[in-house]
Amino acid sequence: MVAVAREVTPPMLFVDIRKQFRATGSRPFLLDIRETFAPGFTVLFGPSGAGKSTLLDCISGLLRPDTGVIKFNNEAFFDSALHLSLSPQLRRTAYVFQSLALFPHLSVDENVAYGLSALSSPEQQERVERILPAFHIEALRRRKPGELSGGEKQRVALARSLVTQPQLLLLDEPLTGLDAALRQAILQDLRAWNAANRIPILYVTHNREEVDAIGERVVALINGRVQEWRSPCRPRCPAEYGAGAGGRVRESVARARGRAAPR
């Protein structure tokens, strides 16, 4: 008997798109991306209006790019040449918005179970029971989103997205407005989840501390185009971006900071 070694290909997201977009109160940009995203965290870093949320909207199927291709492994999400665009329902992609968008009229466990309607009742129950403790929200299950604190809401939003066992996770500034301790705690839960479920995670932020805290891989987006730094980030991380058009990376400052902070 010959044992056949099976090669498991890690799930990869391939994005090659162009899209005209306009951030509020500025000139229109062209979002022009050609990137491959591997499993694990990829931080999408850049100033407001650089196109980060637009990119996530395109990947999730909420927005249609003007031209290009989006593929996950060998499944085409979008292909302008073939006039093909898979609806968001079918992309098995989880997306946590900056505003979280928790359903205000449903309780926490109803929110979390919302994406599981295709499963049988016992299966839904089992998955919900497993994820609530993983994000430390079992005590909140009967509450409505209006009765939750900021950190609790973030956790519910994450649990709701991850309980569907997505093949891709998109996070748009998910930890804004939380204090450092809370951010650390939630990131820890997320990392634990990622260790068990290796999928591509795109984490959008304009907060440098988060970049450093997560930093497996950083992709910087300025005015719709990509400049990238591979991990480990230091000492070549951009210290700051100028707001608006033509933000520049002050590399010398970054280098000086890198030298000043011993690791």
Partner 1 sequence: MNLDALLLSFRLAAVVSATLLILALPLAYWLAFTRWRGKFLLESVVALPLVLPPTVLGFYALIALGPRGPLGRLWQFLFGHTLAFTFAGLVIASLVYSLPFAVQPLIASFESLDRRLLDASSILGASRTRTFFRIILPLSWPGVITAVVLSFAHTLGEFGVVLMVGGNLPGVTRTVSIDIYDRVQALDFAAANRMAFLLLFISFIVLAVVYGMNRRVWSPWLAK
Return the residue of 40, 114, 143, 235 that touches partner 1, per CB under 8 A: 114
Q: Does 243 bind partner 1 (CB under 8 A)?
A: no
Answer whether 182's CB lies under 8 Å from 22's CB: no
Q: Please choose, from the candidates 98, 259, 262, 108, the residue with its C-alpha nearest in 3D space to the C-alpha of residue 177.
A: 98
Return the residue of 42, 54, 60, 205 that touches partner 1, per CB under 8 A: 60
Q: Which is nearer to partner 1, 156 or 220 (CB)?
A: 156
The window from 7-15, 59-67, 128-136, 230-238 that contacts partner 1 (CB under 8 A) reads: 59-67
Q: Which is nearer to partner 1, 9 or 117 (CB)?
A: 117
Residues 118-137 that bind partner 1 (CB under 8 A): 118
- Amino acid at position 50, single letter: A
Answer whether 72's CB lies under 8 Å from 11's CB: yes
Q: Does 24 bind partner 1 (CB under 8 A)?
A: no
Alpha-helical (H) ranges within 142-231 are 150-162, 180-196, 208-214
Q: Which is nearer to partner 1, 29 or 97 (CB)?
A: 97
Indicate the SS3 state at residue 241. coil
Q: Does 97 bind partner 1 (CB under 8 A)?
A: yes
**CA-based angle 46:30:217, to the nearest 5?**
35
User: What's the Cα-to-Cα distance from 70 to each of 32, 33, 37, 73, 179, rounded to whole Å?
Assistant: 13, 10, 11, 10, 35
Minimum CB–partner distance for residue 71 and partner 1 (Å):
19
Minimum CB–partner distance for residue 86 and partner 1 (Å):
12
Q: Does 104 bind partner 1 (CB under 8 A)?
A: yes
CA 19/CA 23 separation, integer angstroms: 12
> Which residues are 31's β-sheet partners?
19
Residues 140-159: x where in contact with partner 1 by CB under 8 A, - otherwise, as a string: ------x-------------
Query: Which residues in this chain contact partner 1 in the complex, by CB under 8 A?
Result: 60-62, 87-89, 91, 93-95, 97, 99, 101, 103-105, 114-115, 117-118, 146, 160-161, 164
